[in-house]
Structure formats: structure tokens, C-alpha cells
A and B are shown apart, each in its own frame.
Chain A
């Protein structure tokens, strides 16, 4: 896997814009309907961290009500960058459960399936894109024991 590097919010926004269709729905943001400043503000508001590994962007946002849980997102079907983020979150943030909300039909669903995420539901008509409402899949990886 190529080296993984942390991006600042503004760099993450332009990276998502470069990811084209796969950047839509990344942690709930949408580079088509939001400009870079708004993307950066929204990622900062969530406390999200975004990383680049080659052409892939992966990121997480903490669940503020339950700090042992994180919401994850990715822009490609490659599971390796997600594995790296999962290992980081379990070791350094002591996260024990992970959730991904992926637009139906997005490549990222395959990556999360490859990392042991299971589908726990479908949010009907959660997004409006290309002239119609689209579903969002909820994927979860539950209760990994805390390593320490």
C-alpha cells in the first residue's frame, strides 16, 4: 500500500473534489453541491480527519456521544487504507466500534465489506443526486475488544 498521509481540511476538500463521483457522500459531504470552503468547514465541524493513500482518500469522524465509536468513509474499493485507519483508531483512540454510511452503489461498500463490516440497514431516500432520491447503506463493525 502507498504511504498514508494526513491532510489538512482545505487539502481534504480539494482531494474530495478530485475524487469525482466517489467523493459524493464522504462523511455526509458532497463536493458537487458544496464548494471547497463549505466542505472544509463541514469536515472541521465534525472533527473529521482525512488521509490520502495513493489515489484513495479515507477519513473518520468521532461519535461525540460515544467516543469509542468512529464513522468512517473511503473513496475506493481498496480495503487496505481502511485497515490502516482501523488499526490506528483501535490503538491510539481506543475505538471499539465503527460505522460507515455509504451511498448505495458506491465502490466504498466493497472496501468496507473486505474489512469485516456488515450491513445493518438501509436509509431510504437519504440523498438527492442526479435528479432522484437515493438510498444510503449503513455498515457496522461492532465491539472489537479494546487492546489495552
Chain B
């Protein structure tokens, strides 16, 4: 699972059936047929870094803060490409810490969407906080958690 920079030809990878802004967005089995897929926009300035896994999905470092050296990570994987998650998460932290030289990566995890927390934990992410009613999912406001990994000194 190698990451490379976004090109306009990768536009089709930027949307899919996962909760918007999810740290590790995997395709949901019961996505309502009438619902628009979650999508991200191509980058317009240097406040974000958009990478793609060719043919499989995207990794977005959003809200990059160069003072606090942190970014919010969003990942979206197209259906049929959800194997080798551990390898992908390792690439995500390596690029964030060594490529972008950030200190902290964090993101939103929706427990109601059965997230793959094992892959997050193996990459060093830890659950830090829970925010009740933070997003709308399956017809009601649901709790969302903040997971993060901090670079070792």
C-alpha cells in the first residue's frame, strides 16, 4: 500500500459509502440507497495534503497546523480494497511523521459504524476522548470518538 500524491485523474477515488470525515473510512454494508456518498474535495491550498492509494482509496491530512504540528487524518477505501489495513496505517503514520514532520495525527471514529479499531491500535492510535451526539448516523445523532497517535521523541 504505497501512497502517492493526488492527480486530477484520481478524482473517482474521493467518494464512497463511509461516514464523512472518518479516520478510517471503510465501505458500510448498509448504506442507504438514496444517500449521497461521502466525498472530499481536491486540495486547493497547503492547509491539507491529499494522497491516494492507486486504485484503492485516499488518505487526507486535513487541517494541517504547522505551529502545533498536527493534522486530522481522513482515510477512505473503495469497496474491495480493505485488506492490508495494517500496512496502510503504517504508511499513513510514516508519511505524517517523517514526510510532513508532524507531531500528532488525530481523527474521528464512529463506534456505531463498527470501525476497524484493531488496525488503528496496531499503528499506535489510542482512543483519547468521546464526544456525544457529534455526528448524524443511521437516523440519529451518535457518539464519536477522537483517536490519535503522538510521535515519540
Give the B-binding residues of A (Cβ under 8 A): 30, 33, 63, 65-66, 68-69, 96-97, 99, 120-128, 133, 138, 140, 142-143
Contacts and interface: CB of A to CB of B under 8 A. Distances in A.
Best-buried of B20, B127, B133 by chain A (most CB within 10 Å): B133
A96 B146 CA distance: 20
A133 B146 CA distance: 18
A30 B65 CA distance: 12
B136 A125 contact: no
Contacts of B128: 121-124, 138
Interface of B: 20-21, 67-70, 103-104, 106, 127-136, 141, 146, 148, 150
A66 B133 contact: yes
Contacts of A133: 68, 103-104
B141 A97 contact: yes
A65 B135 contact: yes
Best-buried of B21, B132, B135, B136 by chain A (most CB within 10 Å): B132
A96 B142 CA distance: 12
Given A30-B67, A65-B21, A128-B68, A121 B146 contact: yes
Contacts of A65: 20-21, 134-136
Given A126-B68, A126-B104, A133-B103, A142 B132 contact: yes
A125 B129 contact: no
A69 B144 CA distance: 12
A140 B67 contact: no
A66 B134 contact: yes
Contacts of A123: 106, 128-129, 146, 148
A97 B132 CA distance: 7
B9 to A, nearest CB: 29
A125 B128 CA distance: 11
A30 B66 CA distance: 13
Nearest to A65: B135
Contacts of B130: 120-121, 138, 140
B132 A140 contact: yes
A65 B22 CA distance: 12
A125 B150 contact: yes
Contact of A140 (B70, B131, B135): B131
Nearest to A32: B67
Contacts of B135: 65-66
A42 to B, nearest CB: 11
22 contacts: A30-B67, A65-B20, A65-B21, A65-B135, A65-B136, A66-B141, A69-B134, A97-B141, A99-B131, A99-B134, A120-B130, A121-B128, A121-B129, A121-B146, A123-B129, A126-B68, A128-B68, A133-B104, A138-B128, A138-B131, A138-B146, A140-B131
